[in-house]
Structure formats: structure tokens, C-alpha cells
């Protein structure tokens, strides 16, 4: 495996542009609790941390985690990681989805 230092860090806005253009796939490594608390990029599904640590996607993949620690472990096959993790995503003002609560009247 490559070391974490070899991981390609991608600025959040650059990653979002690549995803929107169809040039990259974004994967969310955060837990269900983190997603429920903070939200997630629109249309991005949560993936298994263990599975993607063992079998990460290649260069077209960009991984997101809460603090840019877990995502660094997926780069050994050429995948990228969101520089700065979730805080950097929110600071960049990028779109965020939250679980919608339903109300009945």
C-alpha cells in the first residue's frame, strides 16, 4: 500500500465541479450519525469504511470523511480525498442535504 502522504488531496469546490461534470465520483465514508448530524453532499451515498479501505476505487474516486483522516487511507489506488474533510466542504459553501422530517397534520 502507498502511504497516506501519497494521497491526492482535492479542494472541495474542485471535487464538486468534477462530480457535477461527471468526471469524478464522490464517496462519503462518514458514519450514519455524522451524516444525520451534519448533512451530506446532494446525491452522495454513504459507503462502508472497511470495504473501501480494503478495496478503494481508483483515480476517478474522491473520498469524504469528517476530518480528512479516514479518507487519506483510501488513496493507495489513486483515489483522492477532500482536503480538510467535512468542515472544508461547509466552509466552501457547497450544497448540503439533510434528512427531511415529515410532518403530518
* DSSP structure string for 31-70: -HHHHHHH-B-TTPPB--HHHHHHS---TTEEEE-SSSSG
Mean pLDDT value across residues 64-90: 94
- Give the tens place of pLDDT for each residue, 15-51: 999 999 999 999 999 999 999 999 999 999 899 999 9
> Is the predicted pLDDT of residue 5 greater than 70, yes or no?
no
Residue 66's nearest CA partner among 48, 80, 82, 50 is 82
Place of cell 474533510: 85
Percentage above 70 pLDDT, the chain: 89
Please, what are the domains in the chain? 4-91 (3.40.250.10)
Mean pLDDT of the residues in the chain: 89
Amino acid at each position: 500500500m502507498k502511504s497516506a502522504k501519497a494521497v491526492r488531496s482535492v479542494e472541495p469546490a474542485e471535487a464538486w465541479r468534477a462530480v457535477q461534470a461527471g468526471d469524478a465520483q464522490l464517496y462519503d465514508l462518514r458514519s450514519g450519525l455524522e451524516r444525520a448530524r451534519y448533512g451530506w453532499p446532494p446525491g452522495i451515498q454513504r459507503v462502508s469504511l472497511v470495504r473501501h479501505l480494503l478495496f478503494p476505487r481508483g483515480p476517478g474516486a474522491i473520498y469524504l470523511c469528517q476530518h480528512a483522516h479516514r479518507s487519506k487511507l483510501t488513496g493507495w489506488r489513486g483515489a483522492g480525498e477532500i482536503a480538510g474533510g467535512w468542515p472544508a466542504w461547509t466552509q466552501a459553501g457547497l450544497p448540503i442535504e439533510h434528512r427531511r422530517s415529515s410532518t403530518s397534520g
